[in-house]
Chain A
Amino acid sequence: MSFLTNLFAKRNSGAVARDRLQILLAHERHGDTGDSELIAKLHREILEVIARHVSVDQDKVQIKVDRSTGCSLLEIDVEVPQLQAPARQSA
């Protein structure tokens, strides 16, 4: 069975390469510096906001970007330590 699905589902790696490149270059051509500066800025500013209320360990922040034809997904994963009592009062 898997042999059959492989036979039909298999795409030429050349076509995969073309699709990946088209998506990537569509993004890179937007600006000379690319997204990296924007992401660095978002990273910094979002952390500033969070840091105003809780203390965040810089190493426990993960940033991922996923680009596809229609949209870009920016995923920010911040591990927040257990909230302290004063923070809860102010909220």
Chain B
Amino acid sequence: MAKVLVVTSGKGGVGKTTSTAALGAALAQSGQNVVVVDFDVGLRNLDLVMGAERRVVFDLINVVQGDAKLAQALIRDKRCETLSILPASQTRDKDALTADGVARVMDELREKFDWVVCDSPAGIERGAQLAMYHADQAVVVTNPEVSSVRDSDRIIGLLDSTTERAKRGEKMEKHLLLTRYDPARAARGEMLRTEDVLEILSIPLLGIIPESEDVLRASNIGSPVTLAHPDSAPARAYFEAARRLEGEKIDVSVPVEKRGLFDWLFKKRVA
């Protein structure tokens, strides 16, 4: 039975799209059939981060409205054959997404894939609500920073009240993904500590993704960081998070950049 996962946050710019791509690619590399779905109608970006922007013909709205078949809109990743993307529309309005239409597409996706990873738009409006409505599990992406934690708290409230699962009286599994984590600032006490965020939001920790240039470099070339730089610190953190999603129990740590001897010497000399 397929699992539907929504990647959400409330606040924009915390790393939802990056995390959707990275987690989707990590799950797909373990051999599972994965589709990443962009719900950010009008401001789609998942296609760009996945490097599929020039291959988009039909999108989610075309499928929802019955103008295209699902198979026509799905784009298979060229680097990883078990990974597909369903892009959002760039030109249409978010009102073009009907609740019934989305439900039909989600049912069809559940049949075809092992994991359906939905990239939610920012905010708490219709688009975000539709993205989370059919989810079995949620990844709440949060930066260790006050406004992001507040918005995540709000989103957790919505996940527990407005989703299909909540309406059926079932529990929605929620995971916290702490992104853009800066170990140096954390050590100086200039950032909300992981324990503080966990205590405030009180949902289990899925992973800590360190702030890294590799993430930016990966999006520059249109590849999830788990495909472009699989040995980098953020990619290792995403791989571990994906394994936790599959039910493995692994202790959470903050992966650090691996430095060669040359880097180390050079760094010393500069300092």
Contact = CB atoms under 8 A, between A and B. Distances in A.
A63 interface: no
Interface residues of A, number: 14
Nearest to A24: B150
Interface residues of B, number: 16
Given A21-B146, A21-B200, A22-B200, A29 B193 contact: no
Contacts, number: 40
A18 B186 CA distance: 13
A13 B190 contact: yes
B226 to A, nearest CB: 29
A25 B190 contact: no
Contact of A18 (B153, B157, B188, B200): B200
A86 interface: no
Contacts of B254: none
Contact of B150 (A14, A18, A25, A32): A25
B150 A17 contact: no
Interface of A: 12-15, 17-18, 20-22, 24-25, 28-29, 32
Given A13-B190, A22-B200, A29-B153, 7 more contacts: A12-B190, A17-B145, A17-B146, A17-B192, A18-B193, A20-B146, A28-B154
